[in-house]
Amino acid sequence: MPFQSQKPPLELSEKDLGCLKRLAKSRTEKHATVTRARMLLGFHAGKSISAIARDMKTSRTRVDRCIKKALSQGLKAGLSGSAPSRPSTADLG
């Protein structure tokens, strides 16, 4: 029996789903944004992270990070390429 994902499903409204489909087919948006939209659509359709990575010829880690970000911070964060903000560790004192 294949591994069952422990991640919750990606809940999308009709508006969000339409936006992702439009982005996934776009030829004018940034390639990274289009790629992330395709990853999120695949996960929403029930594909495993490994299957998405294999289909898109990318690493599982990249797909997993995109999906985790979308699940925890929202769809907009999942589509952005920036790293989440972290507190500075520099000692200024």
pLDDT of residue 18: 95
Mean pLDDT of 75-79: 89
Mean pLDDT of 37-55: 94
pLDDT of residue 80: 86
Is the pLDDT assigned to residue 13 strictly greater than 70?
A: yes
Mean pLDDT of 36-62: 95
User: Computed over its alpha carbons, how large is the radius of gyration of the chain?
Assistant: 15
CA dist., res. 80 & res. 54, Å (int):
22
pTM: 0.81
Q: At what angle do helices 60-73 and 31-44 cross, to 10 degrees?
A: 80
Is the pLDDT assigned to residue 42 strictly greater than 50?
A: yes
- Where residue 93 falls among pLDDT bands split at 50, 70, 90? very low
